[in-house]
C-alpha cells in the first residue's frame, strides 16, 4: 500500500469506497475483455521480510524506524507491521537468462546495506519464518510500527472480533500451544519471502490452478517455522498462525460455513481472475478505506489506465496464499501477477532463491506438461495436501495424480524436479544457474533436512541440557552465523551449547521461564494422594486449584512431612485421613507472567520462599521454583570456565 493514507471507513466513506470498488471491478472487466494487458514480457520479482534482534540478547528489538532512517536513500527498504520487522523489495526482472542469479545478488547487496544500518542501531537481522526468540509479550500493541495504515488495519480487524477472549491460537505438534491474545498483532510472528510471477490474462486461470496444486510440495520443501514461543508445533506454523491471528469468526450452534480472511481458497478457477476478486468482495466486508481521486470507469472511457486503488486496498486485506495482483508496468501497460505467499523467510539467501527457482520452474514445467491440472487432481486433495504440508513439511505423504499416495521426497526427486528443470530451461534461464539452485532442492530432499527439520532436531537436542530460553538463543545465534556463511540449510550442523559464547538472561520475564506442564490438586483431595503424587513425580510443591483453574493454595513437602511426623498413618485408620484443604498454605505469594526473573528472585529470597505460583487474571498459568534458578545459575557458572 506504500505510504498512501488508509483508514477505518465511516458509514459515509464506506459507501463511497464501495462504489469505487465496484467501479474498479467493472473497469478491470472492460480492460480484460478488450485486451489492454501486457502479454509480450514475463517478469519475476520478490519481497524479503526479516527480523531485527538485539546484538547482545538476540531478542526482538523494535528499531525498524531507526534502521530505515539510515536507509532513506534506498526506496526498496520499507516497514512491516511490527517494529522489529523490515521488508525489502526487488527489481522486477524479465524471466530468463541470468534473472535468478541477479535476484540473488540484489538480495545479498540489499541485506549487506541493511546489516550496516542495523549494526549502527545495535541490531542483527535474521532471516527466518518465525523468530525462535520471539515472545508473546513482544506482540503487544506498543510494538506496532507507528504508521496510520497499520493502526487502521489493527483497529478494523479488532472491530470485527466478537470473541470475548480475543484472538486465539491453537496449534498441536510435538508440543501444544493454546493461548489467546488481545490483538491481531500475532500476525507479526510471520516473516516471508514472497515471489511474484507475471502472467497474461489468457494464462492466469491455468497458471493459478497450477500454483494451487504445487503450493503443498513447494511449502513442504521450504518449511522453516516449527517453533512458536518455545513450542514445537507445525513444520510451517506460519500457515495456521497467520490464519488464526486474523480470524474474527465465532463458533455457532448451527453449521453455517464461513471462510477466514487468510485462506487457501474454496475451488478451482474456471474462467477468469475476476472470480477471485468477486468472491472476495462478496465474502469479506470492506475493512479499510482511502481517499480516491480517480474515477476508474471514466478513465477507461478516455482510454487511460486506472490504478484501481479501491480494488487493490481491498485485495490487500484478503490474504490468499496465492494472491492475484494487478499492477502497471514502467511502460504504462497494466499487468497481472500471481504472488506466492507460502514461502518463509530464510534460512539463507541461497535457500530462498532455490525455493523461488523451484516454484517458478515448476509453474512453467507443469503448464507445458499439463493443459488443465484439474484433470489430474481434485481441489479437495490439493487443499488437503496444503494443510498436511504445513503440519508435516518434508515428512508429508501427498495425494497426487490418480489418487496415488507418495512421500514428499519421492515426489520431489522423481517427478517435480525434472519438471522444474524443463520449466526453467523453457524460459531460457542460464544452465549453470538452473544447476546451482535446483541442486539445493535435490540435496535437501536427499538428506531429508530443510529449515524446519534442522530447527526441530536442534531445539530437541539443546533442551536436553538447557532451558528453553537458552536453547532458542543458541538457535538464533547459530542461524545468524550460518546465514553469514551462506551454506544452504541442509548442510548446517546441529548446534552445541558451547556454540553460544555469551548468554545473557537479563530482563527475562517469568512467562519465558516458568514450568507450564503442571500437576495440581483440589482442596478435597486426600493427603495420601498428594504424598504419592509428589513421590511419583519428584515434586516439592503442588499448587491447589479449583474447578475453574483459580489458585486456592499451595502444598509443600515440608508441610506434608511435618504432618506425617506429627500424625503418621496410624494403623491405616481410615477415620484419620485428612484432605488438602486442611494442610495447604492459603493465599500463597504469587507473581504475574510479566514479572521479571530478577524481581521474582528478590521476592523468593526476601520471603524465604521455595516457589512462586504464576497467576494471570486469577488463573494459575505456571510455577517457578528455586531449582529453576539453580539450573540457570549453574549454566552461567559453566560458561565462566
Length of the chain (residues): 641
State whether 386 and 528 are in the same domain: no
| Cis peptide bond N-terminal to 11, omega within 30 | no
State whether 338 and 208 are in the same domain: yes
H or E stretch at 335? strand 334-340
State whether 334 and 431 are in the same domain: yes
Contact between 137 and 200 (Cβ < 8 Å):
no
Total domain count, the chain: 2
State whether 203 and 323 are in the same domain: yes
Residue 214 contacts by C-beta under 8 Å, 6 or more apart in sequence? 359, 362, 363, 366, 416
Neighbours of 56 (CB within 10 A): 12
**Helix then strand then coil, % of the chain, to nearest 5:** 50, 20, 35
Q: Is 494 inside a domain boundary?
A: no
Residue 319 contacts by C-beta under 8 Å, 6 or more apart in sequence? 242, 246, 261, 262, 263, 341
The CATH number for 626's domain is 3.10.580.10
State whether 558 and 430 are in the same domain: no
pTM tops 0.85, yes or no: yes
Q: Is 237 inside a domain boundary?
A: yes
Q: Is 497 inside a domain boundary?
A: no
| C-alpha span between 57 and 473 (Å, rounded) | 8
Phi/psi for 126 (5° steps) reads: -130, 130
Q: Is 503 inside a domain boundary?
A: no
State whether 185 and 88 are in the same domain: yes
State whether 287 and 164 are in the same domain: yes
Contact between 323 and 211 (Cβ < 8 Å):
no
Domain boundary among 400, 422, 447: 447
Domain boundary among 393, 420, 447: 447
pLDDT of residue 618: 84
- The grid cell for 622 is 505456571
| C-alpha span between 593 and 616 (Å, rounded) | 7
Residue 492 contacts by C-beta under 8 Å, 6 or more apart in sequence? 347, 449, 454, 478, 482
Specify burial of residue 490 (Cβ count, 10 A radius: 0-12, 13-18, 19+): buried
- Measured between alpha carbons, how far is residue 455 from residues 228, 269, 309, 474 in Å? 11, 36, 41, 11
Q: Is 310 inside a domain boundary?
A: yes
Nearest to 151 by CA among 87, 83, 85: 83
The residues that bridge with 509 in the sheet, in sequence order, are 596
Q: How large a percentage of the chain has pLDDT more than 90?
A: 71
Low-confidence stretches of the chain (pLDDT beneath 50): 1-2, 253, 255-256, 569-571, 574
State whether 418 and 304 are in the same domain: yes
State whether 517 and 404 are in the same domain: no
Q: Which long-range contacts (CB under 8 A, 24 or more apart) does 613-617 make?
A: 613/543, 613/551, 613/554, 613/588, 614/510, 614/511, 614/514, 614/590, 615/551, 615/590, 615/591, 616/592
Phi/psi for 579 (5° steps) reads: -110, 170
- Rounded to the nearest 5 degrees, what angle is found at the Cα of 241, between the Cα atoms of 238 and 246? 125
Domain boundary among 400, 431, 447: 447
398 SS3 class? strand
What is the C-alpha end-to-end distance of the chain, expressed in Å? 53
pLDDT of residue 571: 46
Provide the edge-to-edge strand list for the sheet that holds 551-556.
Answer: 541-545, 551-556, 585-586
Q: Is 317 inside a domain boundary?
A: yes
Contact between 459 and 472 (Cβ < 8 Å):
yes
The predicted-structure confidence for 429-472, as pLDDT tens digits, reads as follows 999 999 999 999 999 999 999 999 999 999 999 999 888 889 99
Q: Is 178 inside a domain boundary?
A: yes
Q: What is the largest CA-CA distance in the chain?
A: 101
State whether 557 and 429 are in the same domain: no
Contact between 511 and 137 (Cβ < 8 Å):
yes
What's the per-residue H, E or C state across 414-464? HHHHHHHHHHHHHCCECHHHHHHHHHHHHHHHHHCCCHHHHHHHHHHHHCC
The domain of 128 spans 11-369+377-447
- The grid cell for 367 is 503448464
Contact between 212 and 263 (Cβ < 8 Å):
no
Residue 267 contacts by C-beta under 8 Å, 6 or more apart in sequence? 379
State whether 521 and 429 are in the same domain: no
State whether 399 and 289 are in the same domain: yes
- Measured between alpha carbons, how far is residue 138 from residues 84, 213, 565, 616 in Å? 9, 36, 48, 17
Q: Is 120 inside a domain boundary?
A: yes
The CATH number for 236's domain is 3.30.590.20
What's the per-residue H, E or C state across 56-79? CCCCECCCHHHHHHCCCCCCCEEE
| C-alpha span between 363 and 360 (Å, rounded) | 5
Amino acid at each position: 500500500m506504500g505510504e498512501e493514507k488508509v483508514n477505518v471507513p465511516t458509514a459515509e466513506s464506506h459507501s463511497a469506497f464501495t462504489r469505487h470498488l465496484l467501479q474498479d471491478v467493472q473497469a478491470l472487466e472492460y480492460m480484460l475483455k478488450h485486451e489492454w494487458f501486457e502479454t509480450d514480457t514475463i517478469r519475476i520479482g520478490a519481497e524479503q521480510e526479516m527480523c531485527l534482534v538485539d546484538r547482545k540478547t538476540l531478542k526482538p528489538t523494535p528499531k525498524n524506524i531507526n534502521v530505515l532512517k539510515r536507509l532513506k536513500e534506498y526506496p526498496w527498504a520499507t516497514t512491516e507491521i511490527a517494529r522489529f520487522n523490515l521488508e525489502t523489495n526487488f527489481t522486477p526482472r524479465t524471466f530468463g537468462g541470468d534473472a535468478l542469479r541477479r535476484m540473488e545478488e540484489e538480495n545479498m547487496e540489499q541485506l549487506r546495506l541493511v546489516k550496516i544500518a542495523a549494526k549502527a542501531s545495535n541490531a542483527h537481522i535474521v532471516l527466518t519464518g518465525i523468530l525462535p526468540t520471539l515472545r508473546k509479550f513482544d506482540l503487544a500493541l506498543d510494538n506496532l510500527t507507528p504508521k496510520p495504515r497499520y493502526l487502521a488495519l489493527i483497529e478494523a480487524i479488532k472491530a470485527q472480533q466478537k470473541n470475548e477472549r480475543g484472538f486465539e491460537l491453537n496449534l498441536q505438534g510435538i508440543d501444544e500451544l493454546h493461548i489467546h491474545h488481545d490483538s491481531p498483532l500475532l500476525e507479526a510472528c510471520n516473516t516471508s519471502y514472497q515471489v511474484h510471477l507475471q502472467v497474461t490474462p489468457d494464462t492466469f486461470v491455468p497458471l493459478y490452478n497450477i500454483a494451487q496444486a504445487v503450493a503443498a510440495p513447494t511449502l513442504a520443501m521450504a518449511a522453516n517455522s516449527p517453533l512458536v514461543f518455545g513450542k514445537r508445533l507445525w513444520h510451517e506454523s506460519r500457515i495456521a498462525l497467520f490464519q488464526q491471528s486474523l480470524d474474527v469468526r465465532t463458533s455457532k450452534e448451527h453449521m453455517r460455513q464461513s471462510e477466514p480472511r487468510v485462506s487457501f481458497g474454496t475451488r478451482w478457477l474456471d474462467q477468469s481472475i475476476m472470480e477471485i476478486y468477486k468472491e472476495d468482495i462478496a465474502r469479506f466486508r470492506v475493512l479499510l478505506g482511502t481517499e480516491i481521486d480517480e474515477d476508474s470507469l471514466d478513465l477507461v472511457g478516455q482510454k487511460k489506465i486506472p490504478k484501481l486503488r479501491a480494488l487493490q486496498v481491498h485485495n490487500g486485506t484478503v490474504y490468499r496464499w496465492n494472491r492475484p495482483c494487478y499492477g502497471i508496468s514502467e511502460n504504462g501497460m497494466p499487468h497481472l501477477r500471481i504472488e506466492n505467499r507460502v514461502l518463509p523467510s530464510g534460512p539463507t539467501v541461497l535457500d530462498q532463491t532455490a525455493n523461488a527457482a523451484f516454484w517458478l520452474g515448476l509453474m512453467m514445467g507443469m503448464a507445458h506438461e499439463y493443459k488443465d491440472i484439474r484433470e489430474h487432481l481434485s481441489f479437495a486433495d490439493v487443499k488437503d495436501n496444503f494443510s498436511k504440508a504445513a503440519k508435516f513439511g518434508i515428512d508429508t505423504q501427498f495425494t497426487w495424480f490418480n489418487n496415488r499416495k507418495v512421500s514428499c521426497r519421492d515426489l520431489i526427486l522423481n517427478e517435480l524436479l525434472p519438471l522444474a528443470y524443463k520449466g526453467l530451461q523453457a524460459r531460457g534461464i542460464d544452465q549453470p544457474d538452473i544447476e546451482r539452485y535446483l541442486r539445493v532442492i535435490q540435496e535437501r530432499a536427499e538428506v531429508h533436512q530443510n529449515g524446519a527439520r534442522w530447527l526441530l532436531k536442534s531445539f530437541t537436542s539443546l533442551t536436553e541440557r538447557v532451558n528453553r530460553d537458552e536453547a532458542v538463543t543458541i538457535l538464533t545465534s547459530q542461524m545468524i552465523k550460518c546465514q553469514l556463511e551462506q551454506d544452504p540449510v541442509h548442510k548446517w550442523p546441529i548446534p552445541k551449547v558451547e556454540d553460544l559464547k555469551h548468554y545473557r538472561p537479563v530482563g527475562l520475564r517469568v512467562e519465558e521461564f516458568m514450568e507450564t506442564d503442571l500437576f495440581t490438586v483440589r482442596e478435597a483431595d486426600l493427603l495420601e494422594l498428594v504424598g504419592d503424587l509428589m513421590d511419583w513425580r519428584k515434586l516439592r510443591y503442588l499448587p491447589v486449584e479449583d474447578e475453574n483453574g483459580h489458585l486456592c493454595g499451595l502444598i509443600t513437602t515440608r508441610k506434608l512431612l511435618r504432618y506425617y511426623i506429627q500424625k503418621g498413618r496410624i494403623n491405616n485408620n481410615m477415620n484419620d485421613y485428612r484432605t488438602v484443604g486442611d494442610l495447604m498454605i492459603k493465599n500463597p505469594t504469587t507473581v504475574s507472567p510479566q514479572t521479571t526473573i530478577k524481581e521474582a528472585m528478590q521476592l523468593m529470597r526476601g520471603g524465604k520462599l521455595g516457589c512462586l505460583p504464576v497467576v494471570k487474571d486469577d488463573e494459575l498459568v505456571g510455577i517457578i521454583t528455586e531449582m529453576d534458578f539453580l539450573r540457570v545459575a549453574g549454566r552461567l557458572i559453566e560458561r565462566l570456565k
